């Protein structure tokens, strides 16, 4: 029995918001059954000349690629059912397509996995897993693990890399290769866990067909001491939000680049005998550093006689009692706000380099190296456990050494 499968815009079922559903029409002996793709689009987005080679039935929408891929996957699934069930009728095909209610969906499973990470206090992996789950659902829909092929994973990486036209007409740039690598690492962890639990027959990540996006070496950005000075010299209204942000950034710089989350959790108990001592959240290592005069000056703005050892130093996190996870979520949202304000500081100081909070750490390393401080000192200040880590860290900043040498050469022109 010959079966024809055709993507089909059902124009007689217009929704209240003016959209039309996309179906796959399964035709046998001049009779047909319809299977919903759960995709709804404007009539103008439908391409009647779309085909299975170009996968171009839907156009002019940010999710067009993902939706076209979904149509193609359902078409493949119908063909698989036909191949495995000789002589099967169109109605039975639809029944088999619908008979997956007991299958675990990737998106649902990924969210459950993310919540477990959250419960374990792994806030950043929790957030990153949720992000990639949303991206994969946007691309593929809420499909099951066994529906994913190695080719699909390769297509997903291409989808992430593409620029996308948003509904208002603006263009959203595709993800950087390193972002794609990070996304795929988190997605692979979800699949690995699901494989252990027997939720799929084969893990597509283990196939030789799957080609992981290559990570790109990126140079660390850092400010010069002159640029740091220009930020320090800005006349800002005391007590304003941007004034506080400068204090956070400079306190980090003068203490060898404190990470933002660690800065938010600093309490007055961490200041003893002119030193700052705290446990670094990323590595759980202890950091102990002498407070310099610029750092002490910043602290003087925040010290109040009513403060206790258990009070936060900087007014970033709320005073009310929260769970550790709650505090970390708040710190993450505050980090985004601070980075936006740092861009304002960047413009005010006439700096071209895009500034984020983490640049304070790179800038300290650049400054310390330019001053001729030893590798061991820099490594200890940055709390690196291995000398090789510090060497690589400074190697990533080596372009600034070339800048300094070039300036020295130019300045020596005409000298004997």
Q: Are 208 and 259 in contact (CB under 8 A)?
A: no
Q: Given a cut of 70, is residue 405 above it in pLDDT?
A: no
Q: What is the mean pLDDT of residues 369-375?
A: 79
Find the helix or strand (DSSP H, E) in which 369 lies. Answer: helix 359-370
What pLDDT is recorded for position 388? Answer: 81
Q: What is the mean pLDDT of residues 234-262?
A: 92
Q: Which one is predicted more confidently, 17 or 43?
A: 43
Residue 339 lies in a domain: yes
Q: Are 58 and 39 in contact (CB under 8 A)?
A: yes
Q: Show Cβ contacts of residue 132 under 8 Å, excluding neighbours closer than 6 positions.
A: 110, 183, 184, 186, 187
User: 365: domain CATH number?
Assistant: 1.10.443.10
Whether 236 and 296 map to the same domain: the answer is yes
Whether 185 and 322 map to the same domain: the answer is no
pLDDT in tens, 59-93: 988 778 888 888 988 898 899 899 999 999 999 99
And the tokens for 180? 């794609």
* Sign of the Cα pseudo-torsion (351, 353, 356, 362, in order): negative
280 vs 265: CA distance, rounded Å? 10
And the tokens for 321? 């009692």
Q: Given a cut of 90, is residue 235 above it in pLDDT?
A: yes
Domain count along the chain = 3
> 173 φ, ψ to 5°?
-65, 145
User: 112: domain CATH number?
Assistant: 1.10.150.130
Whether 256 and 153 map to the same domain: the answer is no
Which of 194, 218, 242 is the last residue in one of the domains? 218
Tell me the average pLDDT of the chain: 86
Q: Given a cut of 50, is residue 409 above it in pLDDT?
A: no
Domain carrying residue 75: 1-99
Of 98-107, 110-119, 347-356, the one with minimum mean pLDDT is: 98-107
Whether 91 and 122 map to the same domain: the answer is no
Q: Are 324 and 279 in contact (CB under 8 A)?
A: no
Confidence of residue 161 (pLDDT cuts 50, 70, 90): very high
Q: Given a cut of 90, is residue 349 above it in pLDDT?
A: yes
Which of 188, 218, 248 is the last residue in one of the domains? 218
Whether 170 and 281 map to the same domain: the answer is no
Say whether pTM exceeds 0.85.
Answer: no
Whether 393 and 362 map to the same domain: the answer is yes
Q: Given a cut of 60, is residue 344 above it in pLDDT?
A: yes
Whether 382 and 241 map to the same domain: the answer is yes
Residue 416 lies in a domain: no
pLDDT in tens, 257-276: 888 989 999 999 999 999 99
Whether 161 and 231 map to the same domain: the answer is no
Q: Given a cut of 80, is residue 379 above it in pLDDT?
A: no
What pLDDT is recorded for position 414? Answer: 52
303 vs 306: CA distance, rounded Å? 9
pLDDT in tens, 177-215: 999 999 999 999 999 999 988 888 899 999 999 999 998
Q: Show Cβ contacts of residue 280 under 8 Å, excluding neighbours closer than 6 positions.
A: 259, 262, 286, 287, 383
Q: Are 328 and 126 in contact (CB under 8 A)?
A: no
């Amino acid at each position: 029995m010959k079966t024809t499968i055709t993507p089909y815009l059902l124009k007689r079922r217009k929704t209240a918001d003016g959209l039309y559903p996309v179906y796959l029409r399964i035709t046998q002996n001049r009779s047909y059954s319809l299977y919903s793709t759960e995709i709804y689009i404007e009539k103008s987005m439908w391409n009647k000349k779309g085909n299975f080679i170009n996968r171009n039935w839907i156009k002019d929408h940010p999710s067009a690629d993902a939706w076209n891929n979904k149509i193609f996957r359902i078409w493949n699934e119908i063909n698989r059912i036909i191949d495995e069930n000789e002589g099967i009728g169109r109605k039975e095909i639809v029944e088999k397509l619908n008979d997956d209610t007991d299958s675990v969906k990737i998106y649902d499973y990924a969210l459950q996995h993310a919540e477990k990470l959250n419960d374990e206090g792994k806030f950043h992996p929790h957030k990153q897993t949720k992000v990639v789950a949303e991206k994969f659902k946007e691309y593929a829909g809420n499909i099951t693990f066994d529906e994913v092929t190695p080719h699909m994973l390769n297509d997903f990486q291409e989808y992430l890399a593409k620029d996308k036209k948003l509904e208002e007409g603006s263009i959203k740039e595709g993800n950087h290769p390193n972002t794609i690598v990070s996304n795929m690492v988190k997605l692979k962890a979800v699949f690995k866990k699901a494989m252990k639990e027997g939720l799929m027959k084969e893990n597509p990540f283990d196939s030789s067909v799957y080609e992981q996006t290559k990570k790109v070496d990126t140079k660390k950005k850092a400010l010069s001491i002159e640029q740091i000075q220009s930020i320090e010299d800005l006349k800002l209204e005391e007590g304003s939000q941007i004034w506080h942000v400068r204090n956070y950034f400079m306190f980090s710089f003068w203490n060898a680049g404190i990470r933002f989350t660690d800065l938010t959790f600093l309490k007055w108990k961490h200041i003893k005998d002119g030193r700052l001592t705290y446990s670094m959240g990323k590595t759980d290592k202890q950091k102990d550093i002498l407070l310099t005069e610029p750092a002490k000056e910043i602290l003087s703005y925040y010290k109040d006689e009513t403060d206790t050892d258990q009070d936060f130093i900087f007014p970033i996190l709320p005073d009310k009692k929260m769970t550790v996870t709650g505090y970390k979520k708040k710190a993450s949202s505050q980090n985004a706000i601070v980075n936006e304000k740092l861009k304002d500081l960047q413009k005010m100081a006439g700096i071209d380099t895009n500034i984020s909070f983490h640049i304070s750490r790179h800038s300290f390393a650049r400054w310390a190296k330019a001053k001729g401080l030893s590798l061991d000192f820099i490594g200890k200040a940055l709390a690196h456990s291995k000398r090789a880590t510090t060497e690589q860290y400074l190697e990533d900043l080596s372009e600034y050494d070339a800048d300094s040498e070039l300036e020295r050469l130019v300045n020596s022109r005409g000298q004997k």
